[in-house]
């Protein structure tokens, strides 16, 4: 095939600049720009080109000298478009060419450039370095696997590795127990920490694998909310903060909503001093899961917490309160403490706010309850939750976090600190 010299020249420019491109974006850009390439005389494609005009221009902003044929309308109001390429240089300018030139261009680029894209992707990834606290590995990760100077790529779990300072020791990892070669699990333990008169930052941390159902510190309750974050969680946090009380949020990764879509709400709860804990990734019944299934449900949510907050919660509430010995033993191996509840507001079961309030009003002077509520329910987040905060204060009770009501050290009893929060990137999706 006789190649137009102008095509060859610009294709060479593109090839020289390949390593300036983001490999991941380059692949996506190539797909987007070529999928919608016009065919001369096709009105339907012209409409598509016009619709994608702005998107196409963005395609050309990835590299210093990108060369992609794409649909570029001469103006937003014109009903026609032409096929061309965009050359960004020190004085950026646009060059439009004829459809015939465009077809030659595609033929050349597809033959001479597309064949090298796979090698380019792996080369660019290998040479790129992740920024401080960014993700550098994990199942499905296709980005940089090395870190900038002074940081080390450290495995946090199967789904997430993070660039942490080189002086920081890597977190200890424990493989989950198998279901075929282990002895029968011991029965769940109960809390043994001696209660103190008020919650403090000291105390004794409860062992992993422990199942807790009630507070041990006199005069305290631990208000808990499940299934968020969701639409109403932010306003609930505002109400709790205004009342001067603390709560514990057992969050899911993807249930009512995607945790990454509510990252600001997660940060708001954490920065306000409320305790963040796990409620599994998808609200799965863990008693029906294998050991690897339990680990998957737990580690995917760990990854989200590490990206958003830079912490791994130590406490988990199993969905539906379901539990068995194998599940508890698996969670012990994954460094989790387990909590259910000893008081149910019944908000999940259709109880009205007034009915839930009546249940609270029937309690004794020092119930030491861990009540169950759900911030994914609007009536709970906007009415029942704020009312419980006021009810506790009027009753002379301290509404504190779960770890505080158990006399655990703060924050050591709540979290493993695994580094700083990572920057938001394309992996923050469910």
- Give the residue numbers marked as catalytic: 226, 374
Can you name the residues that pair with 163 across neighbouring β-strands?
Answer: 153
Strand (E) or helix (H) holding 194: none
Strand (E) or helix (H) holding 6: helix 5-16
Contact 94, 108 (CB under 8 A): no
Question: What string of DSSP letters covers 353-422?
Answer: HHHHHHHHHTS-S-----EEEETTSHHIIIIIHHHHHHHHHHTT-EE--HHHHTT--TTTTTEEE-SPPP
Query: 380 phi and psi, to 5 degrees?
Result: -70, -45
Contact 384, 345 (CB under 8 A): yes
Separation of alpha carbons 121 and 117, rounded Å: 6
Contact 375, 230 (CB under 8 A): yes
Contact 215, 398 (CB under 8 A): no
């Amino acid at each position: 095939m006789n190649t137009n010299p102008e095509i060859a020249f610009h294709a060479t420019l593109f090839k020289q600049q390949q390593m300036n491109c983001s490999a991941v974006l380059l692949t996506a850009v190539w797909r987007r720009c070529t999928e919608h390439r016009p065919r001369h005389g096709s009105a339907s494609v012209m409409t598509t080109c016009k619709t994608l005009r702005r998107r196409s221009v963005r395609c050309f902003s990835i590299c210093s000298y990108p060369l992609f044929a794409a649909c570029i309308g001469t103006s937003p109001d014109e009903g026609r478009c032409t096929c061309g390429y965009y050359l960004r240089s020190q004085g950026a300018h646009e060059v439009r060419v004829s459809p015939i030139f465009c077809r030659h261009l595609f033929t050349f680029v597809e033959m001479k450039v597309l064949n090298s894209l796979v090698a380019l992707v792996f080369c660019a990834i290998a040479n790129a370095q992740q920024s401080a606290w960014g993700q550098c590995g994990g199942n499905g990760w296709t980005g940089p696997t090395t870190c900038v100077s002074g940081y080390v790529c450290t495995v946090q779990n199967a789904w997430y590795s993070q660039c942490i300072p080189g002086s920081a020791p890597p977190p200890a990892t424990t493989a989950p127990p198998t279901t075929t070669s282990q002895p029968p699990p011991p029965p769940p333990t109960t809390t043994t920490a001696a209660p103190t008169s008020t919650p403090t930052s000291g105390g004794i941390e409860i062992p992993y694998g422990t199942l807790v159902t009630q507070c041990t510190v006199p005069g305290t309750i631990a208000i808990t909310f499940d299934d968020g974050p969701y639409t109403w969680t932010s306003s609930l946090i505002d109400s709790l903060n205004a009342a001067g009380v603390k709560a514990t949020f057992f969050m899911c990764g993807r249930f009512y909503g995607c945790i990454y879509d509510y990252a600001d709400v997660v940060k708001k709860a954490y920065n306000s001093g409320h305790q963040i804990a796990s409620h599994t990734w998808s609200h799965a019944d863990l008693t029906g899961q294998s050991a690897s299934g339990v680990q998957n449900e737990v580690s995917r949510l760990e990854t989200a917490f590490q990206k958003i907050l830079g912490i791994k919660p130590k406490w988990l509430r199993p969905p539906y309160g379901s539990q068995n010995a194998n599940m508890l033993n698996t969670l012990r191996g994954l460094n989790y403490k387990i909590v259910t509840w000893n008081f149910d507001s019944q908000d999940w079961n259709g109880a009205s706010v007034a009915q839930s309030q009546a249940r609270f009003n029937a309690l004794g002077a020092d119930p030491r309850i861990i009540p169950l509520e759900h911030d994914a329910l609007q009536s709970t987040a906007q009415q029942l939750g704020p009312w419980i905060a006021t009810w506790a204060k009027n009753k002379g009770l301290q509404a504190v976090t779960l770890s505080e009501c158990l006399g655990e050290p703060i924050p050591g009893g709540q979290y493993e600190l695994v580094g700083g929060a990572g920057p938001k990137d394309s992996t923050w999706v469910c």
